[in-house]
């Protein structure tokens, strides 16, 4: 028997490791270990007033703080029956696009790309591939500009509040965004060039189940209330309020061994899942880019999540640009957030964070104080699928040196773009 251990996974957000035990060529045990300290934020918001919740729970994670904030606001609004204006919907969607652009650019260029080119980091890569690194930096900056303009800050947005936005963007700010997005469109073509130039990462094939928000109109990550779980020949749809079917939370909490599964099978969330569940998105430039990337859906290789993220960069910049154009043509109304009337009740919201499905579910008392909060993050949902794929990598790497197996395991882990701070609900092993 031998054990392959990656003690402290580098180039990911947060603190985790991988352990794989092999008996000959057969994997006898596989673990995605998490040793992030427990902050217990879900219990700390209990008793807080409704307007304090989003600023606290956005602190679960910096890279997806917009998703945590807006999902939190949506859950609160659902609990109180607040309807937001169409303009707020659009601004929130734009803010989501900004976060996705920054997060994907960070992941692809700073966390994933160095592996393909055998470098320890993006800054080391800058010595001989400065164009690729500068491209990543420009796209990151574009995503951050959108987040700063609409959310008031790139990390932990402050301007999104229950019912809408405290302050709407000015005409000058929107024109600045339009100009930046126009440049961003050209950069997206270059992203696909970079991705097609990479050596193939072909060492993990497995049947994979995907779960993502159904996005009937365009490619929104924020609107929508239905999740589809898709594997070949089997598609199931569930509504936000039924999220526990997806998370199997009961068994997760009481067992070291079980993770989130759907009908007993692990599933993958994130960019690749979104494209798989919403094939109607794959038209125009996106379809052409997909062909260049030789990506076929449904994919059996989790490494294809990197390709899917690069496709989303193309579609996010296009969609952000459309929203900004629309706002400029229509003119932004200087509207105040919808009025909040608190009431007792439960609200659930499911959205697509950069790394996949994110669920916030709150129960409020009649004074608008939170009685219970439940947060399920994409990395927690992905944990079981990651372990399944670690197993496949190890088994499909029979005869390889340990160092090669380690590198492959790390690359598959990074392809999931895990956000370990986020995994507040992950089953932990001491």
Taking phi over 0 as left and psi of -120 to 50 as alpha, with beta for the rest, 242 belongs to: alpha
Cβ–Cβ < 8 Å for 136, 306? no
Verify binding: residue 427, another protein, rule CB under 8 A. yes
- Minimum distance of another protein from residue 31's CB (angstroms): 14
- Minimum distance of another protein from residue 404's CB (angstroms): 15
- Minimum distance of another protein from residue 226's CB (angstroms): 28
Verify binding: residue 31, another protein, rule CB under 8 A. no
Residue numbers 165-184 binding another protein by CB under 8 A: 166-167
Out of 21, 87, 117, 124, the only residue in the binding site for another protein (CB under 8 A) is 124
Q: Which two tokens stand for residue 35?
A: 């040793």
Host H or E run for residue 210? strand 210-213
Q: Which stretch binds another protein (CB under 8 A): 22-30, 41-49, 231-239, 350-358?
A: 41-49
Query: Which residue's CB is nearer to another protein, number 36 or number 226?
Result: 36
Verify binding: residue 340, another protein, rule CB under 8 A. no
- Minimum distance of another protein from residue 420's CB (angstroms): 9
Out of 26, 29, 153, 283, the only residue in the binding site for another protein (CB under 8 A) is 153
Cβ–Cβ < 8 Å for 47, 54? no
**Contacts with another protein, 94-123, as mask; x by CB under 8 A:** ------------x---xx--xx----xxxx
Nearest to 160 by CA among 244, 60, 79, 54: 54
* R_g over Cα of the chain: 21
Residue numbers 7-26 binding another protein by CB under 8 A: 8, 10-15
Neighbouring C-alpha atoms within 13 Å toward the C-beta of 315: 27
Residue numbers 228-287 binding another protein by CB under 8 A: 253-256
Distance CA 375, CA 384 (A): 17
Q: Which two tokens stand for residue 428?
A: 């932990």
Cβ–Cβ < 8 Å for 99, 221? no
Query: Which residue's CB is nearer to another protein, number 377 or number 388?
Result: 377
Q: Which stretch binds another protein (CB under 8 A): 130-138, 192-200, 206-214, 286-294?
A: 130-138
List the end-to-end C-alpha distance of the chain, in Å, as a whole number.
23
Q: Is 52 helix (H, G, I), strand (E, B) or coil?
A: helix
Q: Is 64 helix (H, G, I), strand (E, B) or coil?
A: coil
Cβ–Cβ < 8 Å for 69, 58? yes
Out of 62, 87, 236, 396, the only residue in the binding site for another protein (CB under 8 A) is 62
Q: Which stretch binds another protein (CB under 8 A): 21-29, 32-40, 87-95, 263-271?
A: 32-40
Q: Which two tokens stand for residue 3?
A: 């054990």
Q: What residues pair up with 376 in beta bridges, in sequence order?
A: 359
Out of 161, 269, 383, 409, the only residue in the binding site for another protein (CB under 8 A) is 161
Neighbouring C-alpha atoms within 13 Å toward the C-beta of 328: 15
- Minimum distance of another protein from residue 152's CB (angstroms): 5
Q: What is the DSSP secondary structure assignment for residue 35, as one 8-state letter?
A: -
Strands 164-165, 160-161: pairing is: antiparallel
For another protein, the binding residues (CB under 8 A) are 8, 10-15, 35-44, 47-49, 52, 55-56, 59-63, 65, 106, 110-111, 114-115, 120-124, 126, 133, 137-138, 140-141, 144, 152-156, 158-159, 161, 166-167, 253-256, 410, 421, 424-425, 427-428, 430
């Amino acid at each position: 028997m031998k054990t392959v251990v990656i003690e402290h996974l580098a180039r990911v957000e947060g603190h985790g490791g991988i352990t794989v035990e092999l008996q000959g060529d057969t994997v006898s045990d596989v673990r995605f270990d998490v040793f992030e300290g427990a902050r217990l934020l879900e219990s700390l918001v209990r008793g807080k007033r409704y307007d304090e919740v989003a600023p606290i729970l956005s602190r679960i994670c910096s890279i997806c703080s917009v998703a945590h904030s807006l999902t939190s606001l949506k859950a609160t609004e659902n609990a109180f029956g607040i309807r937001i204006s169409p303009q707020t919907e659009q601004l929130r969607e734009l803010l989501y696009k900004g976060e996705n652009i920054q997060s994907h650019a960070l992941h692809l260029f700073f966390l994933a790309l160095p592996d393909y080119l055998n470098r320890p980091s993006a800054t080391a890569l800058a010595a001989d591939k400065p164009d690729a690194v500068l491209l990543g930096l420009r796209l990151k900056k574009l995503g951050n500009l959108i987040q700063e303009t609409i959310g008031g800050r790139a990390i932990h947005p402050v301007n999104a509040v229950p019912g809408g936005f405290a302050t709407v963007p000015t005409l000058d700010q929107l024109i600045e965004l339009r100009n930046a997005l126009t440049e961003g469109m050209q950069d997206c073509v270059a992203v696909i060039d970079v991705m097609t130039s990479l050596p193939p990462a072909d060492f993990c094939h497995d049947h994979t189940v995907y779960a993502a928000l159904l996005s009937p109109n365009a490619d929104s990550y924020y609107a929508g209330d239905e999740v589809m779980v898709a594997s070949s020949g089997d598609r199931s749809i569930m509504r936000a309020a039924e999220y526990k079917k997806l998370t199997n939370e009961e068994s997760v909490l009481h067992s070291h061994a079980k993770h989130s599964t759907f009908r007993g099978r692990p599933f993958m969330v994130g960019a690749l899942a979104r494209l798989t569940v919403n094939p109607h998105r794959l038209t125009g430039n996106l379809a052409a880019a997909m062909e260049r990337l030789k990506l076929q859906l449904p994919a059996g290789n989790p490494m294809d999540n990197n390709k899917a993220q690069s496709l989303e960069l193309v579609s996010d910049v296009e969609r952000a640009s459309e929203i900004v154009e629309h706002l400029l043509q229509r003119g932004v109304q200087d509207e105040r957030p919808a009025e909040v009337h608190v009431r007792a009740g439960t609200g659930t919201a499911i959205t697509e964070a950069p790394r996949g499905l994110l669920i916030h579910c709150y129960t409020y008392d009649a004074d608008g104080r939170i009685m219970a909060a439940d947060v399920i993050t994409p990395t927690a949902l992905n944990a079981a699928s990651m372990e399944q794929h670690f197993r496949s990598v190890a088994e499909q790497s029979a005869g390889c040196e340990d160092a090669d197996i380690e590198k492959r395991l790390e690359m598959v882990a990074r392809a999931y773009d895990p956000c370990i701070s986020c995994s507040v609900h992950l089953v932990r092993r001491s």
